[in-house]
Amino acid sequence: MAAAHQGAAPGVAMSRIDRDHRPDAGPAGTAAALLTIDLGAIADNYRALALQAGPAVCAAVVKADAYGLGADRVAPVLAAAGCRHFFVAQVGEGVALRAILGPGPVIAVLNGASPGSEAACAAHDLVPVLNDRSQRDGWQGLARRLDRRLPAILQIDSGMARFGFAPDEACALLDAPDALAGLDLQLVMSHLACAGEPDSPVNAAQRAVFEVVRRRLPAVPASLAASSGIFLGPDFRFDLVRPGAALYGIAPQADAPNPMRPVIGLRARVMQTRSVPAGTPVGYGHAATVGRDSRLATVAIGYADGFFRSTAGGAAWFGGTRLPVVGRVSMDSLVLDVTDLAPGTIGPGALVDIIGPERDVDAVAAAAGTIGYEVLTNLGHRFHRVYLGA
């Protein structure tokens, strides 16, 4: 049977847009779900990574709206913590970030400038990563038209087949005397495919490939490591590191204790409770049936909020008690088994922990068969957001 869509009830709260262009979720006391973002923890994480990476310079990656946490709030905090180099993925993100940060900080665009966006890139003082000859040509063409040198970053594909010049392409390019005419090359960079696995031989292999090209540009600063790469050791840090995920509390190495401070907390509100006898089917498709007489709580968070429907063994927490998800996750709700709580402890209006001390972003991601990055960048747009430590 086709599942009926559960649309959100229209109302005042859905029609008001706040200054962040996010739906107004209402005051914290009544919001269906509360997302807490600890800006102080992000600043601490930045300082910890900078210390770890030193003497390399520590940049910050704030693409995808600072991994869903709000670049308008996060980037100024990073700047205040001493960050002078920011990376975004797209020119549009760079334009928005320049308006947030004002003049001064370096803003680099990882995907580079697509044809036609070079002028916007220059107008907002963004530094494009040059990933292939066409991007180099486009940026050089603009430099000629403007009759001034333009800053640029050269990316080498050291073994990921995603962005950047293949090593032999890069060497052939650099053999031409006018290869970088009109350009002020500020960085040569590459990106690791397997940095989260310290034992992978891919890491050393990519580093060796990167070194071959880097030696052709001895005066140009180099960058290879993102969050995980920083923890591969000093050989991988070069002159500048580019963490994103670790700033936001994601574990940089899957099999080691997480050295970063947790950044987000997510709580969702109980809307309804009920008691049901053993054998009662729950939710869409009757995918689950309770095995005992149970008390159930329906909670106002669903896959439209980034609680993945693929989650297996999902749970929320309340005062140290684990409350398993029963049946399928709906668009706007899910059902918890609250039988293990003393009767009367939980009712409509109570908030349960979805992401918190008992269950961090990485654990929530693992239960959904994904990574913390995807959980953060899917955080819902109708959460009431509370920024701490601004």
Chain contacts with ligand PLP (rule: CB under 6 A): 61, 63, 110, 191, 226-228, 242-246
CB of 313 to ligand PLP, least distance (A): 26
Residue placing its CB nearer to ligand PLP in the complex, 140 or 227: 227
CB of 55 to ligand PLP, least distance (A): 19
Reduced to 3 states, what is the DSSP secondary structure of residue 6? coil
Active site residues: 63, 284
Residue matched to tokens 């495919």: 193
Q: d(Cα 322, Cα 338) in Å, to the nearest integer?
A: 8
CB of 379 to ligand PLP, least distance (A): 15
Q: d(Cα 30, Cα 36) in Å, to the nearest integer?
A: 15
Residue placing its CB nearer to ligand PLP in the complex, 63 or 207: 63
* Torsion angle of the four alpha carbons 77, 81, 83, 89, in this order, in degrees rounded to the nearest 10: -30
Residue placing its CB nearer to ligand PLP in the complex, 85 or 269: 85
Query: Could you tell me the sign of the dihedral formed by the alpha carbons of 13, 17, 18, 23, in that order?
Result: positive
Residue with smallest beta-carbon separation from ligand PLP? 244
CB of 130 to ligand PLP, least distance (A): 13
CB of 375 to ligand PLP, least distance (A): 13
Name every residue whose Cβ is closer than 8 Å to that of residue 51 and which is 6 or more positions away in sequence. Answer: none
User: Residues comprising the binding site?
Assistant: 162, 331
Q: Are 126 and 175 in contact (CB under 8 A)?
A: no
Residue placing its CB nearer to ligand PLP in the complex, 63 or 269: 63
Q: d(Cα 296, Cα 2) in Å, to the nearest integer?
A: 24
CB of 189 to ligand PLP, least distance (A): 7
Determine the distance from the C-alpha atom of residue 117 to the mean position of all C-alpha atoms in its chain, rounded to a whole number: 24
**CB 10: neighbour CB atoms within 10 A?**
8
Write the CA distances from 239 to 128, 153, 165, 223, integer angstroms.
Answer: 18, 13, 20, 6
Closest by CA to 180, choosing from 143, 212, 210, 215, is 143
Number of Cα atoms under 13 Å in the Cβ half of residue 248: 31
Residue placing its CB nearer to ligand PLP in the complex, 105 or 314: 105
Residue placing its CB nearer to ligand PLP in the complex, 65 or 337: 65
User: Residues comprising the binding site for substrate?
Assistant: 162, 331
The reply to whether omega before 103 is within 30° of 0 (cis) is no
Residue 274 one-letter amino acid: R
Residue 7 one-letter amino acid: G
Residue placing its CB nearer to ligand PLP in the complex, 242 or 328: 242
Q: d(Cα 362, Cα 332) in Å, to the nearest integer?
A: 22
DSSP 114: P
CB of 148 to ligand PLP, least distance (A): 27
Q: Are 220 and 185 in contact (CB under 8 A)?
A: yes
Q: Are 273 and 297 in contact (CB under 8 A)?
A: yes
Determine the distance from the C-alpha atom of residue 248 to the mean position of all C-alpha atoms in its chain, rounded to a whole number: 7
